[in-house]
Structure 1
Amino acid sequence: MTGPDFDEEPAEHRRFARYLHDLEAVDESDEADLVAVVLGDQDTTMAESAVGRHMDRRAAQLLATAAFTLWTDTMADVIADHDFLTRRLHEWRLLRTIVMGDPWAVDEVTGASDWFQRTATTTQIVSSPEALRLLRDHGRTRRIRNAASHRLDQLEQRT
């Protein structure tokens, strides 16, 4: 379809792209303020999606660094009123706990979202045999169980 009503990209798509660009380029000192601005957009779903993508990118970058904890504490304050984002941040913290070899609870891992379980089984930085065995045996989907089994095989081949 063409014509004046179909040739132009919807305004929320342009804002979404601009938000992603701005969030990728933002200085760390201004990040929390920009996230708050984005979350103030009238299209809550679009705003949360943009911030969610940004959080996933930043969390993956910072996961194994000392800056991760300060970053998550800052983000937690900014996103506190957004349930999906709060859960995602919590799951990034759980992933870091596993990566760093700190104690974690079985029910947190088995009760985590499909996204978390897939990420934990496909991220090369996760090398906890205990977590991978748990997901191999109790992962929510066959895909997760198979990925956990594959990662365990990879770990065993290295030793």
Structure 2
Amino acid sequence: MDVNSQISIAPPAPWYSAYPAPRGDTPNKITRGEVLALLNEANASGNKDFVLVDVRRNDYEGGSIRGSINIPAQSFYTTISSWYTLFKAAGVKKVIWYCNSSRGRGTRSSLWFQDYIDDNSDAELKSMILIDGIKGWATGGNEYVERMDEYVESYWK
């Protein structure tokens, strides 16, 4: 009998298993239309009290929403306190997270950050996900695509 056929190799644990599960399971949500309105308002007024966070790492193709920062979800948990301090110092009121669909990494990051906000009894800062993530944004029409950097149309087909 082949020795290799008797060896069972377990799949690696998911990256997030190294960290505590978020306490909640339902993140605050925001639609792409609401985010577009926030971007338009910020452009008109010059005031921006929100930040868009793209948590993709290896699948960062196809473009991102202009002005987003990239914090890969896989490295986020260990730096939550630093990001919280930075966002507070910048006067941020909303942190809007997204990944490809906002059903995995975006949701997890948003919930972890909301836990940290709650632990600090902060009623001014809100953590939320972009419903349908970057895929929903990129396929939402020209008004959304025009707000993307490095947009690759064929990636979203």
Give the alignment's TM-score, normalised by structure 2: 0.29
Say which structure is richer in strand. 2
Structure scoring higher RCO (CA < 8 A, sep ≥ 6) equals 2
